[in-house]
């Protein structure tokens, strides 16, 4: 058994990979004035109680650190909303982004995976991220939304500007030291808004059979989504729809490489592919942390957290809590049950989980069919994302 953390020396950046320490599941970081939550029961408690642990974390960020709201429309962000507003928006967008819409994509995902792997074969090399894990989800989400997938170089530039940065928010560091970093996210956000607003307006005039049209036309109790919220939600779908799934695909192949006996088992029993995807989500959680803020004083994991505090809930660490998972450092697709928190939990549970799971399963089926062995190339370095909260490879050359 090879340990991915040691082999790639990622325990400094992705410190949470060491897993929850049962004796200290909740820790206050005086340097940043942020509470870090590492334990599984504590993470579950937070995600299941939106009245105490609000998703509106922007209210605690020092003034001047984030751009003004007219430049950076955080109000319509579903991930920042609490009940009852959250429920209303979630109902509306769910009426457009249904399980059937996702399930119908399966044949397209399979044929696209085949085409991308054919193109890689012609080029004579397979770098998993560039050749498959990035283009597959980005083309799928672009086609689903109804924006040209040929614009994906643009989407990549925006996503890189937002996520390929090693920014760490601190409530204590002077605003001037941090605001330049935060402002750098403004340009890609504005460009994305303008791009998607153009497409959404078009759909208002000329409806098409795409998700953007469905979002423009979605109606619950006679109410439609305001135009700016259609745009904000489309931005979230475009970004969340590919960045995390890219990491999931790369991480799964990395796990099967590091645990070759598991790869053999999954090959021999294809029905275990969905379980291997779930275990990959637990073992290398792509989106390692979600933020919350306390609305009142709360007892959590043996400590008292005052009101109006910012918490980072390290779901990646919770997914390695020995109180919940036996041998958490072992990649075991046979794990059952596997109550990982990689998609969150409760009212904000990832809306795209069915799509991410479908893409993961189909891509892995095709990869295993076409490649008798999936192995990293020992002569070519694997590269990881630079941000502690995003766990995934951005370069994965295979032999």
Least distance between ligand HEM and beta carbon 74 (Å): 13
Q: Where are the alpha helices (DSSP H) in the chain?
A: 4-7, 40-47, 85-96, 99-103, 106-123, 128, 135-145, 152-163, 175-183, 186-205, 211-217, 227-240, 243-258, 260-268, 273-283, 315-318, 353-370
Based on the shown chain and the rule CB under 6 A, indicate whether residue 356 belongs to the binding site for ligand HEM.
Answer: yes
Torsion of CA 304, 56, 142, 197, to 10 degrees: -170
- Our CB check for ligand HEM shows the closer of 182 and 350 to be 350
CA distance 238 to 199: 13
Q: Are 312 and 36 in contact (CB under 8 A)?
A: yes
Based on the shown chain and the rule CB under 6 A, indicate whether residue 392 belongs to the binding site for ligand HEM.
Answer: no
Based on the shown chain and the rule CB under 6 A, indicate whether residue 203 belongs to the binding site for ligand HEM.
Answer: no
Based on the shown chain and the rule CB under 6 A, indicate whether residue 244 belongs to the binding site for ligand HEM.
Answer: yes
Structure tokens at 285: 């959680």
Based on the shown chain and the rule CB under 6 A, indicate whether residue 193 belongs to the binding site for ligand HEM.
Answer: no
Task: Select the span of 15-23, 322-330, 337-345, 374-382 touching ligand HEM (CB under 6 A).
Answer: 337-345
Based on the shown chain and the rule CB under 6 A, indicate whether residue 245 belongs to the binding site for ligand HEM.
Answer: yes
Whole-number CA gyration radius for the chain: 21
Based on the shown chain and the rule CB under 6 A, indicate whether residue 178 belongs to the binding site for ligand HEM.
Answer: no
Burial readout 210-240 (b: 16 or more C-beta within 10 A, e: otherwise): bbbbbbbebeeeeeebeeebbbbbbbbbbbb
Based on the shown chain and the rule CB under 6 A, indicate whether residue 78 belongs to the binding site for ligand HEM.
Answer: yes
Taking the alpha carbons at both ends of the chain, their separation in whole angstroms is 20
Sequential DSSP letters for 331-362: --TT-SS----TT--GGG--TTHHHHHHHHHH
Based on the shown chain and the rule CB under 6 A, indicate whether residue 253 belongs to the binding site for ligand HEM.
Answer: no
Based on the shown chain and the rule CB under 6 A, indicate whether residue 79 belongs to the binding site for ligand HEM.
Answer: yes
Based on the shown chain and the rule CB under 6 A, indicate whether residue 364 belongs to the binding site for ligand HEM.
Answer: no
Encoded one letter per residue, x for contact with ligand HEM by CB under 6 A and - for no contact, window 286-305 reads xx--x---------------
Based on the shown chain and the rule CB under 6 A, indicate whether residue 90 belongs to the binding site for ligand HEM.
Answer: yes
Q: How many CB atoms lie within 10 A of CB 265?
A: 16
Based on the shown chain and the rule CB under 6 A, indicate whether residue 352 belongs to the binding site for ligand HEM.
Answer: yes
- Subset of residues 133 to 152 that bind ligand HEM, contact rule: CB under 6 A: 141
Based on the shown chain and the rule CB under 6 A, indicate whether residue 241 belongs to the binding site for ligand HEM.
Answer: yes
Based on the shown chain and the rule CB under 6 A, indicate whether residue 169 belongs to the binding site for ligand HEM.
Answer: no
Q: How many CB atoms lie within 10 A of CB 337?
A: 8
- Our CB check for ligand HEM shows the closer of 160 and 264 to be 160
Based on the shown chain and the rule CB under 6 A, indicate whether residue 333 belongs to the binding site for ligand HEM.
Answer: no
Task: Select the span of 113-121, 188-196, 339-347, 366-374 touching ligand HEM (CB under 6 A).
Answer: 339-347
Q: Which residues of this protein are in contact with ligand HEM, per CB under 6 A? A: 55, 78-79, 90, 141, 236-237, 240-241, 244-245, 248, 286-287, 290, 342-344, 348, 350-352, 355-356
């Amino acid at each position: 058994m090879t340990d991915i953390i040691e082999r790639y020396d990622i325990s400094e950046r992705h410190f949470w990979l060491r897993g929850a320490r049962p004796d200290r599941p909740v820790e206050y970081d005086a340097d940043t004035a942020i509470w870090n939550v590492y334990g599984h029961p504590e993470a579950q408690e937070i995600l299941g109680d939106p009245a105490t642990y609000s998703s509106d974390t922007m209210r605690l960020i020092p003034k001047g650190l984030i751009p003004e709201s007219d430049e950076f429309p955080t109000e319509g962000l579903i991930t920042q909303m609490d009940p009852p507003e959250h429920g209303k928006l979630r109902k509306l967008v769910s009426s457009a982004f249904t399980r059937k819409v996702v399930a119908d994509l399966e044949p397209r995902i399979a044929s696209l995976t085949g085409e991308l792997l054919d193109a890689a074969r012609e080029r004579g090399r397979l770098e998993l991220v560039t050749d498959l894990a990035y283009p597959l989800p980005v083309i799928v989400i672009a086609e689903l939304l109804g924006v040209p997938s040929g614009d994906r170089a643009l989407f990549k530039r925006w996503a890189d500007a937002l996520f390929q940065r090693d920014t760490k928010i601190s409530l204590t560091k002077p605003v001037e030291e941090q605001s330049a970093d935060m402002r750098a996210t403004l340009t890609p956000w504005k460009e994305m808004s303008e791009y998607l607003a153009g497409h959404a307006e078009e759909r208002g005039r000329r409806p098409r059979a795409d998700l953007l049209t469905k979002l423009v036309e979605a109606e619950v109790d006679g109410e439609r989504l305001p135009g700016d919220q259609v745009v904000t939600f489309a931005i979230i779908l475009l970004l969340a729809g590919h960045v995390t799934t890219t990491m999931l695909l790369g991480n799964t192949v990395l796990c099967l490489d590091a645990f070759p006996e598991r790869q053999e088992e999954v090959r021999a029993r294809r029905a275990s592919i969905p379980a291997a995807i779930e275990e990959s989500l637990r073992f290398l959680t792509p989106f390692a942390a979600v933020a919350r803020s306390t609305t009142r004083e709360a007892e959590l994991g043996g400590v008292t957290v005052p009101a109006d505090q910012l918490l980072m809930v390290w779901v990646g660490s919770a997914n390695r809590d020995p109180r919940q998972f036996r041998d958490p450092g072992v990649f075991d697709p046979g794990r059952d049950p596997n109550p990982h928190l990689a998609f969150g939990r409760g009212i904000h549970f990832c809306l795209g989980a069915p799509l991410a799971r479908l893409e993961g399963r189909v891509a892995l089926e095709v990869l295993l069919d076409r490649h008798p062995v999936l192995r990293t190339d020992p002569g070519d370095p694997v590269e990881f994302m630079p941000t502690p909260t995003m766990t995934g490879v951005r370069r994965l050359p295979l032999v």
